A and B are shown apart, each in its own frame.
Chain A
Amino acid sequence: MSETAEHTGHHIDVKEFHPRAQAAIHNPKIRKNFRSAMDGLMSKRKSAFEGWDLETLRDLGANIRMRALANLPDLLEQLEAKLTENGVKVHWAVDGDEACRIVTAICKARDARTVIKGKSMVSEEMELNHYLEEQGIEALESDLGEYIVQLADETPSHIIMPAIHKNTGEISQLLHDKTGTDLSNDVEYLTASARLQLREKFMNADVGVSGVNFAVAETGTLCLVENEGNGRMTTTVPPCHIAVTGIEKVVPTMEDVSGLLALLTRSATGQHITTYFNMISGPRKADEQDGPEEVHLVLVDNGRSTIYQDDELLDTLRCIRCGACMNHCPVYTRVGGHAYGTTYPGPIGKILMPHLIGLDEGRHLPSASSLCGACGEVCPVKIPIPDLLVRLRQESVDGDKLHPAKVRGHGAKRSSMEAMIWKGWAWMHASPGVYRLGTGVASKFRALQPSKAGAWTDYRTAPKLAAKTLHQRMKERGQ
């Protein structure tokens, strides 16, 4: 599937956000699919938290994640030691390419031809499927949504519900074209067909690749959250299981997991818990009848240790990938996940992707927001997403002397003209005489004020200056 290249993360020009967003806004199908899905997810989340002291629970979630991040290097070492003791091989990758090379090397050492995959956003970030295909290894997604998206040669449009942009008719047509199933709008039938197709694949795959939701340092346990059972299949049936995860996913104790799990599934899909919560602490023991004989964990940095350096940006690493921020985002709901052109769409993508791809390529991401604050209000680990968006906006125009920009590609949106105008603006507002003169002159010539101001007035009326300045009116009133 070499065409995949143009659909995966970096091969899409992220800078072309505006035309893609425009196209999505004028596409009634996208609008309808996302609107109904997001409305459903929002109301399910709300009812799942009924009876909970949600603020206190979110405080706990935030504190668990902050405590883990505060001890991150120690926890990673503890996790590595414990997993090694349990018989799991631990690998470290500075970036996505290195992680792909590690996975490929494990596959090649086993002469693996086929890889079955459970859902993993980090593997999307690494573009693992594409890499494996190039190495002659077939990589098949097994999560139903991911399977559909892969058959369509697309990327996920939502981190929890990858095929949310497609409706039943389209999926039926796709399965018919690619796998020969009958055309049908019966979801039971379509699901059963995929079950049959994928069972064959599970049985014959040489390697299973999965993500990780939480890695527990204390016991050396990899936790996976899922509903379908494909994650369990992937991590149990093939003789080798490779888990890939970002370095930030480690927590100290199982107790921490109890707090985060309570938040994760309710925030994501409004479920009190998912069908399966799979905890893996080692490969098959000599006397066991099933389970993989080899288990590997690939710890992927890919920009995370850079984010880790900064006190504000660090908060991004608390994320537990629930997707609540996108479910509640008025922008995401209208443009859908593909408009962003990034692995992680929506609010979390807007604060995470600039670090992964640089603010040069991701320059429009922090601005693709109305700063309404919904994402920050629903975030189960209280990531101040709106504040971080503002911070990244500052970085994209290179900030100021008090806040030197740090993110790679900072200043990409800076225009010297705009900078000069704002400098003048600031000077005028700090100099009363100039201000009075300026506003006085502007009021006098207000008839010359243009009624159009670029894109701003496409859907708005241009503001009109008052006939008299506030100072003039106050003076007239004798005050």
Chain B
Amino acid sequence: MSSRETILQRLRNRSGGELTAPECDFSVLERDDWTITERVERFEKMIESVHGEVHHCTEDAWMDRLAEVLATRGARNLLIAKDHEIGQALRNAGRDDLPELLIYDEPIESWRAHLFNEVDASITSTRGGIAETGSLILWPTVDEPRLMSLVPPVHIAILKASELYTTFRDAMKAQNWAAGMPTNALLISGPSKTADIEQTLAYGVHGPKELIVLIIE
């Protein structure tokens, strides 16, 4: 008998008899439906409490803010999506106050060392955010691969205020996650951190040292 059958058979022929499944009441997770303003406030408070940085922008002016943010960091380059509207907008802007724009359109194998050692910052879109915990929802795509939000020391994310959900459960319901998930999905709540050395917080242990959120209102 295979290990699979051995295990399943032992579970199925439980000596204590069949178990009854209790009801699960999820209402304790529900919050009053916060207004967009309340959600933005809460999101900002939560993500700032874990060292995230929030900038309020408009649809027209986010690129100015981005340029400032990158300039203060002295970023030599910025990793962008090829097809997403954010990447398109940046490439078409033709601005000289932005650093070199890099596109992640090749398999990681062909430029791993470059990505790990030479890329200073990246910008990605989000699939909304969660106000209660101050989290960004990312579903990496062909256009915005997984490592964009992980390897560069500065990760900038664009979040539309209108796409902020109150709770994680609200977000997954609204976006019908139960119907199917992408190969990789993420909640990101702040820059990478550790407290493994004597409980002292240190940021940027393996992932980005800085997480900057541009909220478009």
Contact = CB atoms under 8 A, between A and B. Distances in A.
A319 B16 CA distance: 20
A337 interface: no
Which of the listed residues A70, A86, A237 has the most CB atoms from chain B within 10 Å of its own CB? A237
A162 B197 CA distance: 10
B196 interface: yes
A259 B169 CA distance: 8
Interface string B3-15: 1101110111011
A72 B104 CA distance: 42
A144 B108 contact: no
A232 B199 contact: no
B147 A274 contact: no
A311 interface: yes
B200 interface: yes
B184 A76 contact: no
Contacts of A305: 7, 10-11
Given A187-B200, A254-B172, A219 B116 contact: no
A291 to B, nearest CB: 6
B206 to A, nearest CB: 4
Contact of A199 (B105, B116, B146): B116
A180 B185 CA distance: 37
A66 to B, nearest CB: 5
Contacts of A203: 112-113, 116
Contacts of A63: 22-25
B168 A56 contact: no
B150 interface: yes
Contacts of A187: 197-198, 200, 202
Given A188-B202, A229-B207, A77 B8 contact: yes
B69 interface: no
Contact of B169 (A64, A228, A258): A258
Contacts of A273: 133-135, 168, 187, 189
Interface stretch (B53-61, B70-78, B88-96, B174-182): B174-182
Contacts of B14: 308-309
Contact of A229 (B24, B187, B205): B205
Given A227-B192, A288-B142, A255 B26 contact: yes
Interface stretch (A103-111, A163-171, A326-334): A163-171
A316 to B, nearest CB: 14
Nearest to A93: B3
Interface residues of A, number: 101
A255 B7 contact: no
B164 to A, nearest CB: 15
B205 A67 contact: no
B101 interface: no
Interface in A206-262: 218-221, 227-230, 232-233, 236-237, 247, 253-256, 258-259, 261-262
Contacts of B192: 227-229, 275-276
B196 A145 contact: yes
A280 B140 CA distance: 11
B61 to A, nearest CB: 29
B181 A287 contact: no
B149 to A, nearest CB: 9
Contacts of B116: 199, 202-203
Contact of B183 (A69, A145, A281): A281
B108 A290 contact: yes
A72 B12 CA distance: 9
B203 to A, nearest CB: 8
A52 to B, nearest CB: 8
Contact of A275 (B108, B132, B177, B191): B191
A282 interface: yes
18 contacts: A57-B28, A67-B24, A70-B20, A70-B22, A73-B12, A187-B202, A188-B202, A190-B197, A219-B181, A227-B192, A228-B206, A236-B146, A253-B178, A255-B173, A259-B24, A272-B189, A281-B184, A287-B142
Shortest 9 CB-CB distances between A and B: which pairs? A229-B207, A145-B196, A229-B206, A70-B21, A277-B187, A70-B19, A229-B192, A191-B202, A92-B4
